[in-house]
Structure 1
Amino acid sequence: MLELRPCCECCGTDLPPASLDARICSYECTFCVACAEGVLQGRCPNCGGELVRRPIRPADRLAKHPASTVRKVKPTGCAAA
């Protein structure tokens, strides 16, 4: 099950569970659309994998399986990735 991480790893932008702006790789590294399509050019800086839109978990399922609250942000941001 996806963690639905709460923010972009590069810039720290909040990405709530229903956000259409969240992008993930197959390891669930999470980025905002601006970072993913901008400086990262559609590739995860951690594994090199493709970044795709994170699916939205239905509200009734989100109540049973809540999103993560653990924020993972790179101290150096995207530029140093």
Structure 2
Amino acid sequence: MALEMRDRCERCGTAGLGPDGSAAICSYECTFCVPCAEAMSGVCPNCGGELAARPRRVVPA
């Protein structure tokens, strides 16, 4: 099972969270940009779980 790698922040709507970009996710794959994750003190507003750095996926050249 692979991560969805969503490309938009669920809080502010910022686009551009591509597979090789920085983002934060919870165990349910709720996805947030780094500034929003920091503003929420690393806690997912949807499930109350911990937000962690999302692994990056290398985009083929």
- TM-score bracket, normalised by the shorter chain, equals 0.7 to 0.9
**Which of the two has higher C-alpha Rg?**
1
Q: How far did 1:59 drift?
A: 2.6
Question: Which structure 2 residues correspond to residues 38-77 of structure 1 after superposition, within 5 A?
Answer: 38=39, 40-60=40-60
Flag the structure with more relative contact order, 1 or 2, with Cα contacts below 8 A and sequence separation at least 6: 1
- So what's the TM-score if we normalise by structure 1? 0.67
Q: How many residues align?
A: 58
Paired residue secondary structure (2:24):
strand
Question: Which structure 2 residues correspond to residues 2-81 of structure 1 after superposition, within 5 A?
Answer: 2-14=3-15, 15-20=17-22, 22-38=23-39, 40-60=40-60
Would you say the 8 A contact 2:19–2:58 is kept in 1? no
Identical aligned pairs, as a percentage? 62
Q: CA RMSD in A?
A: 1.0
CA deviation profile, 1:17-71 (whole Å, cap 9, x unmatched): 1112x00000000001111101x110000110100111011335xxxxxxxxxxx
Name structure 1 gaps, 5 residues minimum.
61-81
